[in-house]
Structures are given as structure tokens and as C-alpha cells.
Structure 1
């Protein structure tokens, strides 16, 4: 297969490219952010896009939606370090053909990718089981906005709703202020909120944070 690899960690990206080339696949491009992934997919027309979920700029899920809108015939498989159900469901709803943890053994990773050519979804049995369980519990209603948040984003939103500043949140979570801003951008986008106040209101309304905790 002709593969486009999109991941903001160059060491992982290069290692994955080497693994795929050794297995007989052609790497047609490597990029480090979502915006570049969308452009490269449009220009290179690969047989497969491997897309990291968490990237700077346009994140992986947003890039997935745009690639699927431009090229619905191109399969996209999401790569992640987080075994997060909310992100899994959102990726599948957005059209991902697979969802693979970066911690997989190389042989299993390659085997699951080969399944794509047989029309199979590229995900482990455990991930597929979680997906089916989640779908069986669904009542068919559209998900609440907060259902689209990852666990990390939920934690950060809870701190925002308590009135913590970016600096205080960064200190609490042991991350940089720039990373906090990146998370906030994603949270506002997913919730359709214009500012932190609206996002905090979502947290209260959804039960993510009780009024007496704010």
C-alpha cells in the first residue's frame, strides 16, 4: 500500500515508516500536523492514511473529518497512546477505518493493517468489543457535547470551571501553559463554545462538575 504517515513525534514517525517499508509498503509522505496531513492526502492520494489523534494545529480528529470529506474512498486509521472510549467513538463516527494503540507489537500492528485490504476494520478485538458495547448502550440520540471530550480534556475543563487560570492548570497537571492553551482550543471547538465561560457552563450542565464544586 501507498501510505501517508502523520504524527508530530518525528522519532515515532520515522520508526513507523521504516517498519512499513520493511513490510513492503511504500511511504509516500510524512507530516507532523493535521493541516499538513489534509494537504498531503489531497495531493498524494495515498491508499492509506495513518493519523495521530493528538497533533498541534488541526488535531487528528479534525484532519480525519476533512480528509473523509475530500476523499471518502481513502481509508484513515487513527494512532493513539490513549485507550479512551470517547475518542474511539468519535473517531469511528467521523469515518475512521481503524483505531490502533501505539503500544501494539509490530507484528500485530502490521497484521491489523493488512486486514484493511480484506475489508476489515483495523482494531484489536478488545477495542472492537468496547466499540460494540458502547453502541449497544446507545439509545440513538446524538452524543452530548461533553461526550466528545477525551479524559484529559474533561479533567482540564473541570479545572477551568473551578476558575483556575492557565498557569494554575499547567502547574496542577504538570504541563506547559502552551499545552493548556492547545487543549482549551480543542475543548472550545468540540463544545461549540466561544469562550471559557461557555465551556464552564457546559461542564456544570452536563454534570461534569456540580455547582457546589465550582
Structure 2
């Protein structure tokens, strides 16, 4: 089985690669950004891609969409520091087939990779339960009503990207980004672009 690891943290990459290599039947390669990852994905055709959300440039959500445009059967597991069920829901909406957090048992990632490679889907039980039953928490979270694209734009704002840079990163027009920022301000009760930056940082997007 071929597994592509997409993460810009060398320690995470080396740990994942060592764990997967220990299985004997898995070959792993890695990429540190969305552009390199997409090139390798197209050329190498991995069975599963393990993708972090917070990547340089385009996020894991955007990379997931781009991979699926090249191969609608792409099998992608999001591997993130964020254990908020909203992010798991947005990952599945973007087309990922699994979501695992980095602060849990690392062998859950191996379980997810094998489950997704076999054609299934994988969510950690606690996340699945929170998605199914924790409606009150979801409604209280200011990010609950945002789409994965809106989350991506908010994340890039939090990282200090200009609207022109964001438009380039997510492959849409400047006008689309400007309109989305206006919509984000209404949804999040923000008055200024700096308010959006503050919210992104407070919500651990940046």
C-alpha cells in the first residue's frame, strides 16, 4: 500500500513514516506543502493520502478538493491538531474519508489508513459521538455555520495573508474573497478585518 503524508512538521512526518514502515506492507512518501503534495499525488497515485489541515499556502481542505478533482475516488484522511467536531464535519464535507487528531493514540491513524484504503470511512469514536449528539456545543461555536472554504479563508487571514494572496491560494477571484470576507464579518459579528484575524487566532485556526 502506498501512503502519502502531507505535513510541514518534520517530527510528525518522521513519526508517521516510521509507524507505517513498521507494518511491512506500506510504502510512505511525504510532502510539506499543498503544491508539492498535489504533484506527488498525481505522479505517484497513493492508495491513501494523510493530510494536515494547516499547511503552507492552501489548507488541507483545499488540497482535498484539488486531489478529488484529479481523482474522484481519492482516499484522504485528515490528520489534525484540532479536535473540534466542526473541523471533522467540514473535512468529510470536503471529501475526506477519515479524520484523526494528533493528540490521540498514533495507532488510530494506522487504523484509519487501513480502513479508508479498504473503501471505508473512519472517525474517532469520541468525535463521531460529539458530531451526533453535541448539538448545543456546535451551535455555541462561532465557526459552526462556516463552510470549509470559509474556514480556509479565515485561517489564511489569521496567518496574515492579504486578500490577493488568499485568492491565489484558493484559486478564486479577488472579488470572491472580498465578498466572502464581508459574509464572514456578518456571520461572526466582526466589524473589521482585524476582528476576523483575532477570531481566527482565538479559534486556533492560525
Tell whether the structures are fold-level matches, with TM greater than 0.5.
yes
Q: 1:183 to 1:11 in 2, by over 3 A?
A: farther
Deviations 1:113-158 (A, max 9, x none): 32224443122112222334589xxxxxxx997344559x48x97x
1:102 aligns with 2:86: no
2:161 is matched with: 181
Query: Is the deviation greater in 181-190 or in 36-45?
Result: 181-190
Whole-Å Cα distance in 1 between the matches of residues 13 and 82 of structure 2?
17
Structure 1 stretches lacking a partner, 5+ long: 136-142, 158-168, 170-178
Q: CA deviation at 1:208?
A: 2.7
Q: Are the aligned partners of 2:163 and 2:178 in contact in 1 as well (CA < 8 Å)?
A: no
Structure 2 stretches lacking a partner, 5+ long: 136-142, 196-206
TM-score, normalisation: structure 2: 0.71
Q: Which has the higher contact order (CA 8 A, sep 6+)?
A: 2
1:209 is matched with: 190
Max Rg structure:
1
Whole-Å Cα distance in 2 between the matches of residues 122 and 5 of structure 1?
17
TM-score, normalisation: structure 1: 0.69
Instruction: Kindly report structure 1 stretches of 4+ aligned residues shifted beyond 4 Å.
Output: 182-191
Deviations 1:45-98 (A, max 9, x none): 011111111100222111100101111222010110011333222211111010
Q: Across the two proteins, how many residue pairs are aligned to each other?
A: 182
Whole-Å Cα distance in 2 between the matches of residues 144 and 111 of structure 1?
28
1:46 is matched with: 46
2:12 is matched with: 12
Q: Could you say what secondary structure the match of 1:206 adopts?
A: helix
